[in-house]
Amino acid sequence: MLLQIPDVLTSEQTRQCRDALENAEWVDGRVTAGFQSARTKDNLQVPENHPVARQCGDMIVSALERAPLFLSAALPLRVFPPLFNRYGGGQAFGTHVDNAIRQVPGTPHRIRTDLSATLFLSEPDEYEGGELVVEDSYGAHAVKLPAGHMILYPATSLHHVRPVTSGARVGSFFWIQSMVADDGERTILFDLDSSIRILGRDMPLSPEVVRLTGIYHNLIRRWSKL
């Protein structure tokens, strides 16, 4: 499932992150790349342990906790601390797949990367190129969203970032371990939850809404891996 999550950050929150990132340290983005990805990765990143990365990352995670669409689609168990990157001057990231397991910096904990997320912090008219292209069974999908919006997609997907030919593309990227590991099962649960919300709004007293809600939670019990 490839899903846009609009307005994760407000315009004010986005501005705060951009201002903070302007004064942050930037290093070669290959510091967090796996062996294969490092061959095709050309961008800059804020170090994982940098105070600005922690400050803006905490803001993003708090915003996600208040985002119903994200919670319904991802069914998050753990969120990897958000990272921040910048593409400019022809920089790009070739086709790759994300590592299956990530070590959470400074902790003994690891997460399974079920979902990948990119949160755009630059407006589309601030740069040329830089689309995130995600491949699935229906083809390749190019994504370039307004600042504060996020794209969520299976971490198993092949994807790449096209060269930024002018301006700069600034964004945040991170991974989510879901309570439900299988993308097909998560998609069924998301569709069911969306239908329950609509029926609950249109027919709030219907006993079928209660019945469907019970089916939804029983499926989570069957499919969740905690």
Letter string b/e over residues 175-211, b meaning 16 or more CB atoms within 10 A of that residue's CB: bbbbbbeebebbeebbebbeebeeeeeeeeeeeebee
The structure tokens 């997609």 sit at 153
- Which domains does the chain possess? 3-178 (2.60.120.620), 183-223 (4.10.860)
Q: What are phi and psi of 85, to 5 degrees?
A: -135, 165
Q: Look up the pTM and report it.
A: 0.94
- Note down pLDDT in tens along the chain; length 226 residues: 899 999 999 999 999 999 999 989 999 988 876 666 778 899 999 999 999 999 999 999 999 999 999 999 999 999 999 999 999 999 999 999 999 999 998 899 999 999 999 999 999 999 999 999 999 988 999 999 999 999 999 999 999 999 999 999 999 999 999 999 999 999 999 999 999 999 999 998 899 999 999 999 999 999 998 8
